Amino acid sequence: MAKFDKQQVLAKMAEAPMVPVFYHKDAEVAKAVVKACYDGGVRAFEFTNRGDFAHEIFAEVIKFAAKECPEMALGVGSIVEPAAASLYIQQGACFVVGPLFNPEVAKVCNRRLVPYTPGCGTVSEIGFAQELGCDLCKVFPGDVLGPKFVKGLLAPMPWSKLMVTGGVEPTEENLKSWFAAGVYCVGMGSKLFPKDKVAACDWQYVTDKCREALDIIAKLK
């Protein structure tokens, strides 16, 4: 069962509006990254369902986070079908994110009151997702659609809560473009976790980069 309900998860994403996106086949590395992000102020973390037996890694990480990162809402990303959503929800995922919008995933998540954030690339997709209970929609791929898409959508649909993933960088210039457009939060992956830093187990770098990005966002909001 999810440790935090839908309202609590959305509140965490609003308070610290950056959701790191990460996967690693080594559970110990994944745990270290989650803890480093938590120490940097992150309160919602997306573990992506990308490798073989990823759900087994997630099971270890979420048990670790429950003890070492008590205020962290740990969710799962790259979910494209309802079976995978059910599996991760059973393991305690606090939210579900996808690169696309699957109405069947929305049903599974709604049944358990777990927020589902689908990847959407059109205004109509976002509208349909909202009809099926998706409070927060993901603008994806962000580097293709751009901040103008966000600003343009919010003009006629100002109630929309949007998270953008893809093309987000931990720099003032980049973050300013997204938050000025009106995003609710951003998802960020490789720019927070350079391969050389992960290979070197430089977790302080990750902590510092998360804190730096969140400080920038706090000044922009």
Per domain, the residue ranges of the chain are 6-138+186-214
Backbone angles phi, psi at 117, to 5 degrees: -115, 95
Residue 21 CA to residue 45 CA, distance in Å, equals 7
Note the pLDDT tens digit of each residue in 80-108.
999 999 999 999 999 999 999 999 999 99
Q: How many CB atoms lie within 10 A of CB 119?
A: 25
Query: Which is the CATH superfamily of the domain at 6-138+186-214?
Result: Aldolase class I (3.20.20.70)
Structure token digits, residue 108: 């599974």
CA angle, 21 as apex, 18 and 39 as ends, to 5°? 60
Per-residue pLDDT tens over the stretch 145-174: 999 999 999 999 999 999 999 999 999 999
Kindly tell me if the per-residue pLDDT of 182 is higher than 90.
yes
Query: Collapsing DSSP states into helix, strand and coil, what is residue 42?
Result: coil
The model carries a pTM of: 0.97
User: What integer is the mean pLDDT of 20-31?
Assistant: 98
Q: What's residue 221's pLDDT?
A: 78
What percent of the chain is modeled with pLDDT above 70? 100
Q: Environment class of residue 10 by beta-carbon count within 10 Å: exposed (0-12), middle (13-18) or buried (19+)?
A: buried
